[in-house]
Amino acid sequence: MKIAVFGQLYKTESLPYIIDLVHLLVKKKIDFIIYKELNNAIRDSIKTPIATYQSDKDLPKDVTLMISVGGDGTMLQTVRFIKDSAIPVIGINTGRLGFLATVQKEHIELAVSQLIEGHFTVNKRSLLQVTTQEHTKTFYALNEVSVSRKNTTTMITIDTFLDGEFLNTYWADGLIIATPTGSTGYSLSCNGPIITPSVEALSITPIAPHNLSIRPLIIRDDTQIKLRVSSRENHFLLAMDSHVESVSTKSELFIKKAPFELPMIALKDQSFLKTLREKLLWGKDTRN
């Protein structure tokens, strides 16, 4: 087993747990490699020399799994390192809600023990692939792709096509295309539906639509989606999870299911339904 450790430094409160994790991996003599920026931050606390990586290009081919330390946002960032390498990932939650990072920070030692002993399952999560006429680069998103207004308080209009057929023109602050994984994120806050991870579907959820008869829509995940955005401004915002691009209103967007999936690790006694109950406080009414 070779583990890659990833985390982000915008929350210093995560550092003690990263240090604890590294000490534990060293103690158990587990072969691991750590994100270079993290290593620089904990260098004074760890006396043992540690191998580092800085991008997906220098991530060793023999890495068998990745541990993400932070919150759901940190988990989303692992996509740019893993891409189509099929490296399973597990998240240690030092943030708040934690739908993706499901291991609580107090249970790091237990989680590492279960990983070593093989007491886990791997569930594959679908991603979205985004291309535009303006960018030569292909973007990927685990949670959602969203378009929204830029530098204006007025609505934008979004012409939406499914497999080449016109669906609707949304007059709204924006539009969210979410995977089942992302259905419990931004889409949920805009009254989108919750989709269990095994369902092969996507949701289209408008953000503050002008026409109140416009409701969220569930579609097959092999649907080809095309968007044309109009605005009083010449650009709008395109967000793929936490990555944001400014896009010209002259550019069409093309969204479809990515040709690869992200393997996510679930430890023993963990499940999506259990996470729903715990995070959304279902059944916590004192009358139950």
CA distance 94 to 115: 19
Angle at 193 between CA 192 and CA 197, to 5 degrees: 125
Which member of 31, 72, 222, 285 is catalytic?
Answer: 72
Q: Are 167 and 227 in contact (CB under 8 A)?
A: no
Residue corresponding to tokens 């999936």: 261
Counting every residue written for the chain, the total comes to 288
DSSP 21: H
The C-alpha torsion from 154 through 174 and 235 to 177, rounded to 10°, is -170
CA distance 225 to 166: 10
CA distance 185 to 28: 36
Q: Is 72 a catalytic residue?
A: yes
Active site residues: 72
